[in-house]
Structure 1
């Protein structure tokens, strides 16, 4: 049996994420504003900008921080002026861009312009000149117009292929073109926010922070609910790169666009963009927007999560693909935690957030933002109704870390017995380490510990004067456990730690069927094993032979690799995910839609991003004492999910 004990290696694999950054004082928190594109496409004009800018002020949205007003594609013309400078379309902008900038500045807003690193702007034809080979003069021109921000796009840029409009697999990296414009932008005598928009085709998180203040992580958002899932799956391997001055851009908001998203869908969309620290850029017309959408865009609490000074993005913590919900969370300034539980189902239902999934055992205060409710002294879990396609967005304060149970919060005493509840267990196991800390040193004696998972007490001999004592106890997966300690002196608190998982590499001692095959990766890749299984299609399986000391439900952590980025397919049903099923001993399989894991360039990086591991945990049922067959595959992949499972690196089992 190939099995090794392992600790969590995910942080080591990812690194800190804070690469060399452009540190000029701009975008210490994600930028906020309004852009013409989502509502008006490449057909802006002066009246449109005036009306929406005024509406930002009149509705109070500007006071919330929406200050950058950007004119996207469609503002320019094909030919440059005789002196080589770009110019605006005088029919659409009769007063000109300098006057437009002054208008915005007089309103207390900031002037955002749009350019392109190719020979034409996106949205051509009719052709509008781009900045390729004219970066110096264009940067000076933007500065002369008193532009405050530049969104810089990636159309018509591949000279080797005669400048196609869009090329998701260009012959060379876009990096040098963006670096060139960044150099000239930084050379101007005014600060200009630089927004890199190369659609994530060369994993810009690795190089964009040194050049600009934000970078688009992927393809354009499309006006459909399905675009939210696709974008979040692409965000997963990039969120650790976020920090003051460098923000992953999930693209402009759909909130307020007529007949695109329901109110709960808009709340979910806005919440996740906010807690992932994406720039918040309104894409809808402000005037005439429904009141519910204006309220969403103006929610002070959600904006505060986005603008939190700590600058830490939320991460994907758990995903229940079969049940249709998932949990994201991140730290906030002041020791607080924000958590978002997304209900992917189209039906309203009651859902439970287990606080340990977000690193918390207890919260002295909980605020359910969209429900407008507060709760005190939340122990172990919180349950609330969540609308179809809606989100449970909560702020947790005065928290205790997962596994710590103070007596004054979790215990009640009856005679010589002290019972702690509710106690959370991530997996069913006999190997939980229970540490009991006494309020005062006891005299030498025996104490007895009973849990809800067994009727047989565990006897522990306590040395005289000991301040604490440890033992192994059994627990059942879930948040309904109790621990009763009989015969102890006063107890200050208990601490519980789950079993250390046992790791099984996918390429060792597994039974393979169909097309799946082992693959050896270069050194330092396919973490932590250096190898993986590939070609897990709908007719292929990999069977692990895993012993267990207990029956019931086991939590496992799957190390996977997926870099099937939805570029062309993003306009349809591309989701950036692959379908993985896990069947234990012929029980019904558990399905997991795994997100992207690649953290290198799809063009030229090591393995084109297919050497980079991700990790997600899932609870699986059907385990028995002794040998177990755990079958990984892609059952149902032909029925609408991805035809391929992710590459499989290994699995850690919490037994």
Structure 2
């Protein structure tokens, strides 16, 4: 086989990470009104397993398997043929046509076959001059032919169009991929969306621009889903990368328009069972389309029973298809412990919670319910562990495999900070509340003790070691309280009056905008694009290993930050059953190489001590307690040089490896 040239590309992307509290939801603009995909679409797509080498036999076999394996009954209904289906040239009348060597019966007949199974037919095209990964001779894209192609797809009975973004940047000479284009790809999607809307039958539109130009700001008006990141790859590190990019965007999802985290790798034998559960769980609760990317059945492959069980889990599918249509959001991350929490509301007053283990080893994880706005759950379903428990107060713990996820459904919940007397221990006139939660260690909590009755004269109430007077005819008493961070605080209240509830309010906090910071050196304060870096609309960035952006404020805890990083793009060869079919498949992945800067945005503190804070280059370790943040593994010029040397070595190895193929 001839030698292929290896190459590298570098580009800068923005990852937004919210720690300890939810980020402020961004406003949602106008939405595509075709009435389709009121819940996230579910189906199968040929690309992840077969790359740009589909054929009629492969599509028939997998469509039939979707039905035979019971997945159609679970809600999977779209069968989409991805890239590689066309002839290089258009017909004399200007229309696209299928490659008869691959699809001898034709695309109209293919649509009839899929519809005959009770499924829906998805087609693929591209907003550029040619389709992605179609080599030479190139296969034409839909640029400048949008109306013609939309009508052609409809004539074949298509129910869905996946619309890609390769070869679309005219100013750069139509490169294969452009992650920093001279103009936004939005224009190409406006044109095709308009062409689709003029058809006599509505069609689902999947926007696939890989997250370029932050499509969450404009894609909801043009399509039913939009990709938020570059392609998924068959390595677990791709999962946290995509989740990081989803953090600031989950509020854009809703009925008819959904964040697309990319197709599922479940069933491709590239993840462990625990990793597949994590992958499927997070895609489901973030309301991403659930599009199977593995081979269900072909001449070389059959999906495993384990992967099939994951794809068919009715609880998880139910969270994805829930009628409320609200995506889960990022709630908290523990950097040293190596896990994070996502949560979101479900219909019927339920809440879904995911604890993601990012470590390479099994561990036991605990979710503190107040971190997701809950104090008590009358029912807890631990989906993957197969456990159901009742009346759980404050926290829940369970074991989880490396890279696994504890997925919980909480029902019958009460709001965080409210402790019912019925959950306390009562002995004579003493009521003891256990498992009282505090996010941070502070003397500035307020406890509000509520009584069921009042008396005409003042009454003595003892809380801990301090004694207070409850005013006459009053049924509540509010006093300051010290709590230590964690879920193991105990509060003892002694009173002759019976208690109803104990309410805990958090210490006051103050927001400090980026405009309050004094910057120096290479640091700059920049104005962000519309609807970004809210609420002040600016951020601090371009810090170096030796330059700081200091600020003198009371307080010690960062709540929000924006991290700007360099990423390295490279090609990898996938080893799987594709080789049995004679197919080569290359994947692109972003690997972190080094951090360029912190862009500090929306900084808030818990008020406690007057402290001088500096943001410098490195990785912050957030423990969500009052006290200075710990600078963990700062990156120096020496670190960067050593990583560059390692990168050059890896590049040389990759060239040799590719040349030997």
Q: Same fold (TM over 0.5)?
A: yes
- Per the alignment, residue 519 of structure 1 pairs with 525
Aligned counterparts, 1:575-654, within 5 A = 618-620=623-625, 623=627, 635-636=634-635
**Can you list the C-alpha shifts for 1:233-265, whole angstroms capped at 9, x where unaligned?**
11111110000000010000011112x110000
Matched, 1:286 2:296: yes
Query: Tell me, which stretches of 5 or more residues in structure 1 are unaligned?
Result: 1-7, 452-456, 549-553, 595-615, 624-628, 644-655
**Can you list the C-alpha shifts for 1:109-161, whole angstroms capped at 9, x where unaligned?**
10000011111111222311111111111111100100000000111111222
- Per the alignment, residue 591 of structure 2 pairs with 573
- Per the alignment, residue 481 of structure 2 pairs with 473
| Match among 303, 328, 334 for residue 314 of structure 1 | 328
1:189 CA drift (Å): 1.4
| Match among 114, 117, 135 for residue 146 of structure 2 | 135
- Per the alignment, residue 559 of structure 1 pairs with 560
Q: Matched residue of 1:194: which SS?
A: strand
Aligned residues of 1:195 and 1:212 also touching (Cα < 8 A): yes
Name the CA shift for 1:633/1:296 in 2 (closer, same or farther; >3 Å).
closer
| Match among 243, 249, 274 for residue 264 of structure 1 | 274
Name the CA shift for 1:101/1:152 in 2 (closer, same or farther; >3 Å).
same
**Can you list the C-alpha shifts for 1:293-333, whole angstroms capped at 9, x where unaligned?**
01000000000000011111111100111211000000001
**Can you list the C-alpha shifts for 1:261-307, whole angstroms capped at 9, x where unaligned?**
10000000000000000000000100211111010000000000000
1:187 CA drift (Å): 1.2
Q: Matched residue of 2:247: which SS?
A: helix
1:636 CA drift (Å): 4.6
Name the CA shift for 1:576/1:392 in 2 (closer, same or farther; >3 Å).
farther
Query: Tell me, which stretches of 5 or more residues in structure 2 are unaligned?
Result: 1-18, 571-587, 604-608, 644-661
Distance 1:448 1:592 in 2: 49
Distance 1:508 1:95 in 2: 67
- Normalising by structure 2, report the TM-score: 0.83
Matched, 1:447 2:456: no
Aligned counterparts, 1:368-407, within 5 A = 368-407=382-421
Aligned counterparts, 1:326-405, within 5 A = 326-405=340-419
Q: Matched residue of 2:591: which SS?
A: coil
Aligned residues of 1:199 and 1:217 also touching (Cα < 8 A): yes
Aligned residues of 1:193 and 1:213 also touching (Cα < 8 A): yes
Distance 1:535 1:316 in 2: 26
Name the CA shift for 1:200/1:221 in 2 (closer, same or farther; >3 Å).
same
Distance 1:377 1:206 in 2: 41
Matched, 1:107 2:117: yes
Name the CA shift for 1:64/1:163 in 2 (closer, same or farther; >3 Å).
same
Distance 1:101 1:520 in 2: 51
Aligned residues of 2:323 and 2:347 also touching (Cα < 8 A): yes
Matched, 1:487 2:495: yes
Aligned residues of 2:541 and 2:597 also touching (Cα < 8 A): no
Name the CA shift for 1:335/1:238 in 2 (closer, same or farther; >3 Å).
same
Q: Matched residue of 2:391: which SS?
A: strand
Q: Matched residue of 2:72: which SS?
A: helix
Aligned residues of 2:125 and 2:162 also touching (Cα < 8 A): yes
Aligned residues of 2:210 and 2:229 also touching (Cα < 8 A): yes
- Per the alignment, residue 422 of structure 1 pairs with 435
Aligned residues of 1:444 and 1:461 also touching (Cα < 8 A): no
Aligned residues of 1:105 and 1:111 also touching (Cα < 8 A): yes
Q: Matched residue of 2:422: which SS?
A: helix
1:459 CA drift (Å): 2.5
Q: Matched residue of 1:573: which SS?
A: strand
Q: Matched residue of 2:209: which SS?
A: coil
Distance 1:208 1:130 in 2: 20
- Per the alignment, residue 581 of structure 2 pairs with none
Name the CA shift for 1:418/1:31 in 2 (closer, same or farther; >3 Å).
same
- Per the alignment, residue 578 of structure 2 pairs with none
- Per the alignment, residue 43 of structure 1 pairs with 53
RMSD: 3.2
**Can you list the C-alpha shifts for 1:44-101, whole angstroms capped at 9, x where unaligned?**
0000000000100010011111110000000001111111111000000000000000
- Per the alignment, residue 250 of structure 1 pairs with 261
- Per the alignment, residue 89 of structure 1 pairs with 99
Name the CA shift for 1:292/1:405 in 2 (closer, same or farther; >3 Å).
same
Aligned residues of 1:544 and 1:630 also touching (Cα < 8 A): no
| Match among 463, 481, 496 for residue 504 of structure 2 | 496
Distance 2:642 2:596 in 1: 5
Aligned residues of 1:148 and 1:193 also touching (Cα < 8 A): yes
Q: Matched residue of 1:113: which SS?
A: strand
Distance 2:466 2:366 in 1: 31
**Number of matched residues?**
591
1:574 CA drift (Å): 3.4
Distance 2:29 2:76 in 1: 27
| Match among 406, 431, 449 for residue 436 of structure 1 | 449
Q: Matched residue of 2:201: which SS?
A: coil
Distance 2:36 2:539 in 1: 42
